[in-house]
Amino acid sequence: MAKNLPKLPELPTSVNELIADRAIRHALYLERYKTQVVNDILTEFNNSLEPALVAKIEKSLHRMTGTSKHLQALFKYNGELVREEYIAMEAKLYGQLRDFAKVESAWLIQTMQNVMPIAYDFVAPSAVMLKSLVTTQPMEGALVKEWFGKLSRDTAFNVNKAIQMGMVEGEGIEKIVRRIAGTRAEKYGDALLEASRREIQTIVRTATGNVSNAARNETYAANSDVVKGVEIIATLDSGTCLKCGNLDGKQFPLDSGPRPTFHFKCKCGTVPVLKSWKELGIPLKELPPGTRASSALTKTEKKRIRKLPKEEQQKIKSKLTGQVPATQKYPDWLSKQTKAFQADAFGGGPAGMQRAEYFRSGKLKLNEFVDRRDRPLTLKKLEELVKKGN
């Protein structure tokens, strides 16, 4: 069984490959850090906002009717409480991300210094600049502050709406509170507030990735004498969207081209493309590319898989890809995955299976699944392209 497990990768050899290799491994720790930040922020939600909100609702509903002036007072209180708590969560996130921006830039500089075979002093962006990234970098068209403002208003509105509907329909206090806070039997996944938690998680994860990429961009700019461009690196798994998969491995000049994050929860990152030794005026030989890491197994995961039935082991193995060459980009990588995996990567369901078939048969290339703005095309449009091609 052990012989079928992913092999250890060959070590990359060129400077740019060494940086890319470290960046891909670093991405794993970045995702773990995002989870840590999410948990820290949700602690505020779970330990402060929800208990205070539920306590106030229970107390107030005991002494009012649907037309009572106390109902409007409760709505106002809920709105103010939610707004204050979201402001507190936002401030906590800012504090964490300001420190994170400095750490991310320092990691990139240290990585570049470590792989350079010659002594070179890379420049760090100013601390003021890195701190400002947290509040000035938009994501999905709005700043973090604006997203938190929207989330707080939506949460207050939905909570108050649930209370009013319950009062109109003559529901008891327990049922109204259960709709808002959820039930233990469902692990509180049926709660109205659970939707707010998921929205917070999305914003926090996206904001963390956004700051990571912004800090890298500023570091690249500060070292433009040696950094000539950037390369997009997408996560090689079934969750990679078409836009990210199509951009994977593409290089762009330092001052132009798209930059992640490309959407909510985007895992894409960038790595610097350093000038060649010749461009730097250094008489060193350019070395060939090495390998690029994708989904790998930890020792614990390997032990767990060995204990599973053979059928389950095979299902898991179909999604494991070990190491891929650095020159192999997402389209090549995806073409070698199982049919089920490809269908999942193209959105799942019948439509995902059909898209995967177009891709697998060679009728459409990966870049033909998106429009000029990298938005996925409808299945109907893809069918038209296939017919036109024939």
- Split at pLDDT 50, 70, 90, the class of 12 is very low
Provide the whole-model pTM: 0.72
Between 82-86, 104-108, 242-246, the lowest mean confidence (pLDDT) is in 242-246
Query: Taking Cα atoms as reference points, which of 8, 87, 96 lies closest to residue 48?
Result: 87
Of 275 and 224, which is predicted with more confidence? 224
CB atoms within 10 A of CB 174: 10
The per-residue b/e assignment along 9-48, b for 16 or more CB within 10 angstroms, e otherwise, is beebebbbbbbbbbbbebbeebeebbeebbeebbebbeee
Q: Could you tell me if 6 and 296 are in contact, meaning their C-beta atoms sit under 8 angstroms apart?
A: yes
Does residue 378 have a pLDDT over 70? Answer: yes
Return the structure tokens found at 290. Answer: 């090495």
- % helix, strand, coil for the chain, step of 5: 60, 5, 30
Strands 291-293 and 269-274: unpaired
- Tell me the pLDDT of the chain averaged across its residues: 80
Please count the CA atoms within 13 angstroms of the CA of 199 that sit on its side-chain side.
18
- Tell me what the mean pLDDT of segment 61-78 comes to: 82
Query: Taking Cα atoms as reference points, which of 175, 260, 328, 231 lies closest to residue 23?
Result: 231
- Give the whole-number percent of the chain exceeding pLDDT 90: 40
- Tell me what the mean pLDDT of segment 4-33 comes to: 68
- Tell me what the mean pLDDT of segment 347-351 comes to: 79
**pLDDT on residue 238:** 58
Task: Give the CA-trace dihedral at 224, 225, 228, 234, to 10 degrees.
Answer: -50
- Tell me what the mean pLDDT of segment 41-54 comes to: 93
**pLDDT on residue 299:** 55
**pLDDT on residue 353:** 86
The DSSP secondary-structure symbol of 188 reads: T
Return the structure tokens found at 133. Answer: 């990234």
Highest mean pLDDT among 15-24, 167-176, 239-248, 265-274: 265-274
Between 234-248, 267-281, 288-302, 374-388, the lowest mean confidence (pLDDT) is in 288-302
Interval 227-280: pLDDT, tens: 999 999 887 665 677 788 888 888 999 999 999 999 998 989 999 988 877 777
Q: Please tell me the distance from the alpha carbon of residue 163 to that of residue 54, in angstroms, as a whole number.
A: 11
**pLDDT on residue 320:** 46
Query: Taking Cα atoms as reference points, which of 241, 246, 240 lies closest to residue 329?
Result: 246
Query: Within its chain, how far is the Cα of 53 from the centroid?
Result: 30
Of 42 and 286, which is predicted with more confidence? 42
- Split at pLDDT 50, 70, 90, the class of 340 is confident
Of 278 and 330, which is predicted with more confidence? 278
- Tell me what the mean pLDDT of segment 346-355 comes to: 80
Q: Please tell me the distance from the alpha carbon of residue 274 to that of residue 268, in angstroms, as a whole number.
A: 19
Q: Please tell me the distance from the alpha carbon of residue 177 to that of residue 29, in angstroms, as a whole number.
A: 38
The per-residue b/e assignment along 299-323, b for 16 or more CB within 10 angstroms, e otherwise, is eeeeeebeeeeeeeeeeeeeeebeb
Does residue 8 have a pLDDT over 90? Answer: no
Identify any residues that bridge with 7 across adjacent strands, giving them in sequence order.
Answer: none
State whether residue 274 is helix, strand or coil: strand
Does residue 66 have a pLDDT over 60? Answer: no
Between 59-63, 197-201, 346-350, the lowest mean confidence (pLDDT) is in 346-350
